[in-house]
Amino acid sequence: MAIKDTAEEWEVRSTDTPFVGNKTSVRTDDVVMPGGSVVHRDYQVHPGSVAVLALDDTGRVLVIRQYRHPVRQKLWEIPAGLLDVPGENPLHAAQRELYEEAHVKAEDWRVLTDVYTTPGGCDEAVRIFLARDLSEADGRRFEVEDEEADMELARVPVEELVRGVLAGDLHNNCLVVGVLSLVAALNGDGLDALRPAEAPWPARPFEP
């Protein structure tokens, strides 16, 4: 048996959306179980996200530190953001986030990994890109606001981030998954063997 996730959809008898927010909503589905019973399943409906592990020529990763109110912590993260438009090309969204949050551009883009953040309670899908050949972006810096106005930026060696992840000092899922995936790729077939930046993404289909 191949160890691979597969698409499947169980029967939904009814559905309701009791809450609609600015970016996400909450949905309640009545789902038919294999034994025939019908159960309620509440989950957050999410547009999807992209994240960027930007790796410079000296082996450092560009990270940002940002306040996250739900967990009441300032977390070290990699640049990330929502897919603002349905069907938006995730590469374009990732390039936008890297520019807006770090004023950086990259010449080499690849797909590092695709994940569902919390599939038991949210349908958010995240594509994490690897960006290399970094340089300062052209033009004026993007005007940030709210939590982003308090962001800090740093470049941290990969080895230091790995130590922080394994020590329980770093918790942002995109940073954790991205850094450990990077190390796995480096120890495997190499970064040039990663999927191209425009690789299909069934979780959030897009036009190239």
86 and 33 fall within a common domain: no
Task: For residues 82 and 136, state if they share a domain.
Answer: yes
Query: In this structure, are 77 and 172 located in the same domain?
Result: yes
Q: Is residue 188 part of a domain?
A: yes
182 shares a domain with 103? yes
90 with 161, same domain: the answer is: yes
Query: Do 174 and 77 lie in a common domain?
Result: yes
Is 18 part of any domain?
Answer: yes
Which residue range(s) make up the domain with 74?
Answer: 49-196
169 lies in the same domain as 108 = yes
* Cβ atoms of 52 and 33 closer than 8 Å: no
- Same domain? 34 vs 75: no
Q: What is the pLDDT of residues 58-98, one digit of tens each?
A: 999 999 999 999 999 999 999 999 998 888 999 999 999 99
- 174 — pLDDT class (breaks 50, 70, 90): very high
CA distance 204 to 5: 15
Residue 148 annotated as catalytic: yes
pLDDT tens per residue across span 5-58: 999 999 999 999 999 998 999 999 999 999 999 999 999 999 999 999 999 999
Catalytic residue (one of 77, 97, 136, 148):
148
pTM: predicted TM-score of the whole model, two decimal places? 0.94
Specify the number of domains making up the chain.
2
Q: Does 192 map to a domain?
A: yes
